Amino acid sequence: MTPRIELRPSPHVVKGASVEHIMFHVVLALLPIATFSVWQYGLSALALIVVVTLACIASERLFNRLSGKPSTLSDWSATITGLLLALTLPPSFPLWMGAVASFTAIALGKALFGGIGCNVLNPALVGRAFVQAAFPVAITTWVPAFAPRRFSEFVPTTFTAPLMTPPDIAAWALQAKSVLDGFTGATPLARWKFENVLATPADLLSGAVTASAGETSALLILLCGAYLAARKFMDWRIPVADLGSAALTALVFQMIDPARYPDPLFVLLSGGLMLGAVFMATDMATSPVTPKGVWLYGALIGVVTVMIRYFGGLSEGVMYAILIGNALSPLIDQVTQPKVFGAVKGKKA
């Protein structure tokens, strides 16, 4: 390691790559996923992604100005937060609620802690957690994928007037669905949990399921993640530990009671596990920095995700699992630190 002094907790840049450079490539890696999501869900997804991202950028600018600091827009971090946040929301999410989520993400998740690199929790997930608690109905209202008229009309809820309740779209969604879509108004995870119906891996992989805007393209997410990992813009160990431990936990439960618990493949492909493992758990500012800590952190998120899915009140647990992992990161760093120092230098300098 080059002994270079950086006055920030992390990322500890070791290879000439700047924050802007890395962040820009993360944006590049997210674009295919966003594009797939638009192809899947049409105009409403596009509007949601654009509005949420712009709202994040505007909030970032506002807090830059309020705190009297130079603009941090050029580091792309607000753009990433916006893109990630939009991809975790249902495509039918009203735009005004998306803007609320964006503002909360930047204000509560980032600006309050002092901006980029100082945040304890992943800003996008803070924003999502807030709207999950504030608008529990809207955030569990889903629309069918690959609806035939998705490029000619918006979901009725998209343009709900600010502060107003979105209209009920159950009837609209049923008539809008395509024939190849087994749309029932619930995500595969919710259907498994509450109705005991398992989606097939083929459906999950092709994205012909009901889900948040950017969580169904498992292969695409892995591909984009592999690109980032190959260019060393992302710590590959976190997604590997996260997905590995989730699969392992699922396998253990399936061996205990195969009738009740689904197979590990379903656990990996459903919900936001992929997106979360590759793009959110790996956020440099909110994950541990020690090699052992990284494994521990990833494994913890995987286990907690499965535990929440199986035993919690909600059907999806990725968001809270990552937030818990984020919150424990400093502690994980502290616990795993001495051994690493001892191994390298023998004695604490």
Partner 1 sequence: MATAPLIPGQKPRSNLEELLEGVWKQNPVFVMVLGMCPTLAVSVSAMNAMSMGLATAFVLVGSSLLVSLMRNLVPKEVRIATYILIIATFVTVVDYAIQAISLALYDALGAFIQLIVVNCIILGRAEAHASKNRPVKAVLNAIGMGAGFTIGLFALGAVREILGAGKLFGVSLFGPDFQPWVVMVLPPGGFFVLGAWLLLFNWLDSRKAAPAKPTESHAHV
Partner 2 sequence: MNVLTQPTPSSAAMIRTLGLVATVCGILIVSAYQSTREAVAANKRIALERAVFKVIPGAASVKEFVAGTAGVQPAGATPPLGAVKFYAAYDQAGALKGIAAEGAAKGYADTVRVLYAYDPEKQAITGIGVVSMRETPGIGDKIHSDPAFLKNFVALDAQLAADLKSLAHAIKVMKHGAKQNPWEIDAIAGATVTSKAVGKGINDSAQKLLPLLVPHLDTLQGGK
Residues found near partner 2 in the complex (CB under 8 A): 136-137, 140, 313
Minimum Å gap between C-beta 102 and partner 1 is: 15
146's CB contacts (< 8 A; 6+ apart) are 40, 178, 180, 181, 207, 208
Minimum Å gap between C-beta 136 and partner 1 is: 6
Choice between 140 and 178, CB closer to partner 2 = 140
Sign for the CA dihedral angle at 186, 187, 193, 197 comes to positive
Choice between 1 and 164, CB closer to partner 2 = 164
Choice between 165 and 334, CB closer to partner 1 = 165
H/E stretch holding 188 reads helix 188-190
- Look at residue 68 and give the partner it binds from partner 2, partner 1, none, a contact being a CB closer than 5 to 8 Å depending on partner kind: partner 1
- Look at residue 69 and give the partner it binds from partner 2, partner 1, none, a contact being a CB closer than 5 to 8 Å depending on partner kind: partner 1
Choice between 134 and 327, CB closer to partner 1 = 134
Which amino acid is located at 279 in the chain? F
- DSSP-derived letter for residue 277 is I
End-to-end CA distance of the chain: 16
Calculate helix-pair angle for 43-66, 77-88, nearest 10 degrees.
140
105's CB contacts (< 8 A; 6+ apart) are 56, 59, 81, 85, 123, 124, 126, 127, 128, 130
Minimum Å gap between C-beta 1 and partner 1 is: 23
Query: To which residue do tokens 């964006």 refer?
Result: 102
| DSSP output for 78-91 | HHHHHHHHHHHS-T
Choice between 156 and 288, CB closer to partner 1 = 156
Minimum Å gap between C-beta 137 and partner 2 is: 6
Chain residues binding partner 1 by CB under 8 A are 7, 67-69, 97, 108, 130, 133-136, 138, 160-161, 163-166
Minimum Å gap between C-beta 136 and partner 2 is: 6
Minimum Å gap between C-beta 94 and partner 2 is: 15
- Look at residue 3 and give the partner it binds from partner 2, partner 1, none, a contact being a CB closer than 5 to 8 Å depending on partner kind: none
Q: How many CB atoms lie within 10 A of CB 67?
A: 10
Of the candidates 126, 119, 121, the one whose C-alpha atom is nearest the C-alpha of residue 102 is: 126
- Look at residue 325 and give the partner it binds from partner 1, partner 2, none, a contact being a CB closer than 5 to 8 Å depending on partner kind: none
Minimum Å gap between C-beta 95 and partner 2 is: 20
- Look at residue 238 and give the partner it binds from partner 2, partner 1, none, a contact being a CB closer than 5 to 8 Å depending on partner kind: none
129 in Cβ contact with 323 (< 8 Å): yes
165's CB contacts (< 8 A; 6+ apart) are none
- Look at residue 346 and give the partner it binds from partner 2, partner 1, none, a contact being a CB closer than 5 to 8 Å depending on partner kind: none
- Look at residue 206 and give the partner it binds from partner 2, partner 1, none, a contact being a CB closer than 5 to 8 Å depending on partner kind: none
Choice between 212 and 326, CB closer to partner 2 = 212
